[in-house]
Chains A and B, each alone.
Chain A
């Protein structure tokens, strides 16, 4: 199978969906590649730096039959459009009694680890998860990035596509043709029997690397990638933990009210999963600080492989 980068996979998804459906339009301050060349300036809009109005325009055009893709570029900038996301996009379908659909896709990069400091190194997945009414995808591989973004564009609801900065240059196999990954379906990326590691975005590959190292110590790790945060595939997560009895959740957002916290709750409140647990649920998350700039501090703020490895050893030690 051909190998392409995460960024190329995302660009392919957009281009293919634009060819497939003339109602798909783009709005952003800038684009990778040259979509104007193929799709023309009426469908590809360079916007002023006006996140609030552009976010709402995506919603309004969606309510009038188009399928806009609004790229905030960085999740940081989406906060300027908080009203349009929280008060409008997430609520508009429900509060109007379902009389119209709003098929808009909001895209942005997330995460730290590349020296962009506090404002540009955020992973606020759970802030948007908390707002009922959005769907949220968070891919970890080029194939999932392409397949999930295509599904997001075809979905008839507002979907937020969180795209991890650190993964943009990562390469991986991506099937040819119309490759779709369904929204709301987690994937077991590696099977194992001793400990489940639930990784998000960048931390799926990190979990896989840790699993490989620990296999040499005779520890069998299962790695599960939720891929979609809303709706969360709790069944797949629970099935894995029922099998292994131990779970470490790795997320580069701070732990408080995080996606990791939600996953921990979904596991712990399910009676069958609770009974299968042999050790406390463990989270490995970022320190509760704005992500600092200096490499030594940034490394200390974000989870590293050694943190994941230590957590695995701890849950094994704590096992009943």
Chain B
């Protein structure tokens, strides 16, 4: 199905929102407004957006420690996300989770995850639920190249293929697991190569091309909805920033020319060109989107600042149902 004009405009807006959200998160962390760790998604926006544009609200996703982009792309509210980063009661987890544990079950976002590979089994369970429900819903499991070295990855591909579960594994190969290159971690550079061993399609996609990601996901999602089982998409991309920051951004140890070459392939700039050339949006319209995003994030920060810190008396609330 071809993307509509509105669909493409929406995708561009979401990509910009993700980038600006995380750029602000970095600044707010430096300013001490955010308390814990921040893992910016900047540079990888085309993956979350290209994938999630194929999903309905009842489809589900699981995410990673670098999860803000997946949350936003699946429809989470940036005000409640920001409030969670601020550790406030109006955050998604009432301030109990923080950046690495944001979830919004109401929109099918089953959670970020602080353990590399930890979300894969949970995604498989959501896919099992979808298969048992029989309504044609699918689950998308986001993970990084690092997770492909975890046992949970191989167990997940094996069981979902054996059971033909409706799931799409989306590997965001951003070239580094923390500070180790793909070459250090894996015998080959292509994570998608594992798909063959598990009897599922394995597709390598330019993860900085949102339309390519969208098209590849469309096929994988259709396969899952038909009941034909899982697919593995490997989106080659790059994170623009450090792996994680606490008080200050750590020094980047990656080669400057490598960083520059990937920044030259900026997924947002590329998609902006695309939509202008296709006549979907004009330059002033894109500027208006950027202004709107900025205003939305101002509002999100104000919302977070206005929300109180959780009361210590609520420490034990939510432990058990």
Contact = CB atoms under 8 A, between A and B. Distances in A.
A54 B129 contact: no
A96 to B, nearest CB: 4
A30 to B, nearest CB: 16
B97 interface: yes
B300 interface: no
Contacts of B91: 97
A84 B121 contact: yes
B111 interface: yes
Nearest to A52: B152
Contacts of B104: 99
Nearest to A84: B121
Q: Is the interface of A mostly helix, strand, loop or mixed?
A: mixed
B92 A97 contact: yes
A283 interface: no
Nearest to A93: B318
Contact of A63 (B92, B106, B122): B122
Interface stretch (A41-49, A118-126, A194-202): A41-49
A25 B162 CA distance: 18
A170 to B, nearest CB: 31
Contact of B105 (A47, A50, A63): A63
A257 interface: no
A266 interface: no
Q: Which of B103, B106, B129 has the most CB of A within 10 A?
A: B129
B318 A48 contact: no
A52 B163 contact: no
A157 B320 contact: yes
B118 A83 contact: yes
B129 A83 contact: no
Interface string B263-292: 000000000000000000000000000000
Contacts of B128: 45, 57, 60-61, 66
Contacts of A157: 320-321
Contacts of B103: 96, 99-100
B151 interface: yes
Given A52-B155, A83-B152, A98-B317, A58 B125 contact: yes
Given A61-B126, A66-B129, A88-B115, A97 B93 contact: yes
Contacts of B93: 95-97, 99
Given A48-B158, A60-B126, 14 more contacts: A52-B152, A60-B110, A60-B123, A61-B125, A61-B129, A64-B130, A96-B97, A96-B101, A96-B111, A97-B93, A99-B92, A100-B103, A103-B321, A156-B321
Interface of B: 60, 62, 91-97, 101, 103-106, 110-111, 113-115, 117-118, 120-133, 151-152, 155-156, 158-159, 162-163, 317-321
